Amino acid sequence: MRKFFLASTLLLGAPLTAIAADGMSYTYVEGGWNQLQISSNALDDPKADGGYIRGSFAIAEQVNVFGGWSRVSDTSHYAYSSVKTTLEQPHLGIGYHMPLSERLDFTADIAWNRRTGKSEVQFDGETYRSRTSVNTAVGNFGVRGKPSARTEAWLKAGYMDGNNHFDGTWTGTVGGQVSFNRTWGVVAEGQFYDDFAEYRVGVRASF
């Protein structure tokens, strides 16, 4: 199992003079590109690209609900066949945040995630399809802060577990946002667990 080291001092080391008047929003919609990478010598470290959409809505001063959906796919071509692999992941959860300072929050969340893998093999004029799904639950805690008036950053550590088809594993997430104005910003995020890495780059509208 891969261990993750998250350097939270990146958020704490910035000077306290540049405080954004509008603070951080927990109500937003976001979408963009994502990529799944698998660290496996036997599989030649495969990658799959796709898109995602997600959002969050503050239902109380310190509580928000969130959800989203992502899809990645990859096609491998061989001399007499091709294999297309697709992974879809909807998720739904609830989060809590507590201010530690004027521009740093403690965050915690728990979410349900359904991972559905599909494969389509074309060989000798025939198509063979298979599908498998697993439900997982993941809990995270971390920090979210504003290093400057137009930037945000967040760090999270958590644990993910599922049924008999998914062994529990620790997870780590690091991300950030550069804001153009009160509403629009560009987001980049990486999530790491076991031999997997997921990367996202998207546009966020905050309200």
Q: Set out the domains of the chain in order of their start, with CATH numbers.
A: 9-14+24-206 (2.40.160.20)
pLDDT per position as a tens digit, 24-83:
999 999 999 999 998 887 777 889 999 999 999 999 999 999 999 999 999 888 888 888
For 26-36, write each residue's pLDDT tens digit.
Answer: 999 999 999 99
Would you say the C-alpha torsion 3, 161, 57, 190 has a positive or negative sign? positive
Contact 45, 37 (CB under 8 A): yes
pLDDT at 122 over 50: yes
Helix (H, G, I), strand (E, B) or coil at 16: coil
CA–CA distances in Å: residue 43 to residues 37, 130, 146, 163, 199: 11, 19, 40, 25, 19
Beta bridge partners of 132: 117
Query: What is the rounded CA–CA span in Å between residue 79 and residue 33?
Result: 30
Give the pTM.
Answer: 0.83
What's the average model confidence in pLDDT over 130-136?
A: 91
